[in-house]
Each structure stands twice: as structure tokens, then as C-alpha cells.
Amino acid sequence: MKRQLVVGKQIFGKKASFSPDDVTRIEAWIKEVELSIGKNFGCNDFKYDRLPKEERKKRGIDISRRQYNKRFRLAARLEQKMFRLAREQFKRSLTLASKTRLAAKIGWDDFSSNMDTACFIAYYVSRCNLRSIFTNTSQSRPYDEICECLMQRCLRNQEDVNWWAIAHVLPNSQVLSRIDDEQKGLLLSSYFGLMQDAALFLRELWEANQFDSEMIVRRGNDSTTWNVTAGAWNKLRDGWISLMYEMGLVQAIEKMCPGKVLRLMAADVAFWHKQSGGDVHPDTFVWNKLPRPWEILNGEADCPKALVDKVCNSFGLDPVKSGWSAPKPGKHIEKFSPTPELVHGVDVGSPILASAFRKAGIFSGKAAKNIASDTTVDEIRRRHWLQQEYRREENEKQNG
């Protein structure tokens, strides 16, 4: 809102000395400048909320009617823009949560406190942000062989690792068992708070759209916003359920167990499924039978764990393995494969190494070819040693 705040300073005469995307301070600033024209925050009706001449005179507002109207209109537009900005920021927070859970809430001090911690979080989050591929099978999961290697490093040096930071992105039993109860409570509060916000937004989208019972996109559906919000709900719900089980609060889950939210599927992918002998995923039937998550959190409907288990079993679905009523058991480790997102984010400082990568097909994102010769590797090592020797000699010269 930089441009709008500049105009506001020119009209109201009060400088906005803060970031133009800080919604909290923008709201406080708008309320303050509105006091100068006797306007109440949220009262923006040009016909009914403006003060008449006598009332303005009584409050000491000594400006012309034209100037008063100009300020009133600007204040109303500033409020509208502020609410739009806040809504888009909320949608962005859901987008981040749909990929990486609470990674955006990790502070720099926690992230940088330990090298093993930083390496695992950075790599795992980058894997979580990989683009989906067009397929009629399941997507590749983010936890791959490199993640497992980095996790083993963390476990070997677990006393120095910041498990609190890792728990923001990977809240499984292996990680949660290494943080204290206070930290678990803070995470639980963060997860459930965002779940409530996501549930309210899901209700708004559900009521504004006409969704198919098989959750296939139809003309007019806002599939992008729905899928992002549904993904955020599912990620946050998984973390919340893992924490509840880790803290021994299974009784609470038995009384209230909100289900997953299904994403909308593209019609061509759905057709592809049926043409290849597949059918609607069993999760779809469970979704249609259970109460909506926003109804459960709002107290409008009951959804105990027993009901979720019963509905899942009726459609031949294991409620635990499918993650409907408990954390998924075990972990699946994907085979490592180089991706364009990964290799394009690596700064290759050695021309020889870059050439070897190119010949191996690394930059294509396909399976790497094992064509790097021993002479190439020896040459890289030799040049690296020469570079280190050159730097050492330069440092000795500078230090006398």
C-alpha cells in the first residue's frame, strides 16, 4: 500500500513511517487519521456515515465540505485496500502452509543455530516445494534418500541439533519426542489456530462454489484457491494429530476428529484415471459421508474418531494407514532423483564440475548418467587444491 499511504500523507498530513505491508500498523494509522474527520473505523457509507455540517462544526472540524468529502472517500478506500491486502496475505500464509507446514514461522536464530539443522530444513523444504507433475498416479513424496541421510546426521549429533525448528516442518514422532512439553504446546496452538482460520475460509469457498460430489472441477469453480486451502488444512491437520498423539491426548481425538479435505481434480486427469481402469479414490466417499471440518470446529456437528473409523472401514479403507484418524505409521523414503528446481538452485563455481554435470544429464532433471571419468574427478581435486594454495599464499602476503 505504498502509493495509497503516500496519498494519505498528502491529504491528512500525517506520515506513515512503517512498512507498506504491515497490516496491523496500517490499521492503527487509518484509525488515527480518521479521528481528524470524526469518522469511525468501518463506517464507510457515503450517504449515512458522513457528518453533517453542524456536527462537523461542533467537533471542531474546520474544513470545507469538499475537503471533508475528499478525506472521507480516501479513508474508506484505504480501509478497503487494507482488508484486501490482509486477505491476500492470509491466502499466502495458507499457500506456504500447504507446502511446508510452519516453515515460515521459523526464526533465523533457530534456523542458523546448527549446520545439520539448517541443511535438513533447507533441503526438505525445497523438496516440499517441488512442482506437481501431470500424472494419474501418486505424486513423489518430499522425504527422499538425501533427507534420510541428513536426518541421520541430525540423530548422530542430536544434542546440538535444534529439534524445535525441525518440528515446524516435520512433526513426526521421531522429531517430536526430542522437544519439551512447552514447545509441543506452542506448536499445537499454532497448528490449531491456523486450522481454524483455514476452516472458516473453506466454508466461505464451499458456499460460494457449486462443487461436484466426486470433487471434479466444473466451470466456474475457484479450484486454485480451494486446492491451496485444502492442502494447507491437510498439512496442518497432520501436524496437529501427530502432536495430539505424541502428547497423549488421544481422548480428545476420540471426541473430535475432523477429517481431511479433498482437493478438486482436473477433469482430464479424472478421465485418465477411468480410462486406465481406475476409479474415484476411496477418500472421496469418506469425504462425502463425514461432516465438514468447519462444521465440526464450529460445534455444529459431532465427528468422533469412532465415526471416522466406521466410515473408512465401510469403504474398505484403513483409517490409520490412510491418515484419517491417526498419524500415518512409518515413513516412506523416495529414491533420490535430480530435479531442475534442485540443480538450478546450486551455484557451480567450477567450470569442470559444471561440464561434468552437463554431460551426466544433471541439468535436464532426468536420471543421471555415470559418465564422470576418474581423470575428471582428479582434475577437479587438483584445481581445488591449487586454489586453496593460492588463497593461503595471498593471506600470508597480506599478513606480512
pLDDT per 10-residue tile (average), the chain, 400 residues = 92 90 94 93 92 91 92 95 95 93 94 95 91 71 92 93 95 92 94 94 94 88 93 94 92 94 85 74 91 94 95 93 88 76 58 69 64 61 76 80
Of 189, 225, 192, nearest to 208 by C-alpha is 225
Per-residue pLDDT at 265 = 87
Per-residue pLDDT at 370 = 62
Beta bridge partners of 216: 265
215 by Cβ neighbours in 10 Å (0-12 / 13-18 / 19+) ranks as buried
Q: Where in the chain are the domains? A: 2-95, 343-398
- Please work out, in degrees rounded to the nearest 5, the angle formed at the alpha carbon of residue 282 by the alpha carbons of 280 and 285: 90
Per-residue pLDDT at 361 = 72
Per-residue pLDDT at 344 = 57
Which single residue is written with the C-alpha cell 511446508?
A: 100
Beta bridge partners of 265: 216
Per-residue pLDDT at 386 = 78
Alpha-carbon distance of 292 to 299, in angstroms, equals 11
DSSP at 179 = S
